Amino acid sequence: MMFSGLRGWLAGSRIVGEFSFLFEGALIWALAGAALALATPAPPFLASVSGPARLFFKTGIGFGAGWWGGLPWSLALTLAARGHQPAPPVTTLTRITWIAVGGFVVVAVAANRLGLAMIASIGLAVLVATLAARAALAWEARRQFG
Separation between Cα atoms, residue 24 and residue 5, nearest integer Å? 27
Separation between Cα atoms, residue 65 and residue 15, nearest integer Å? 26
Separation between Cα atoms, residue 98 and residue 105, nearest integer Å? 11
Within 8 A by CB and 6+ apart from 138, the residues are 84
Residue type at position 71: L
Residue type at position 16: V
Q: 93 and 77 in contact (C-beta within 8 Å)?
A: yes
pLDDT in tens, 61-91: 999 999 999 999 999 999 999 988 888 889 9
Separation between Cα atoms, residue 81 and residue 86, nearest integer Å? 9
pLDDT in tens, 19-42: 999 999 999 999 999 999 999 888
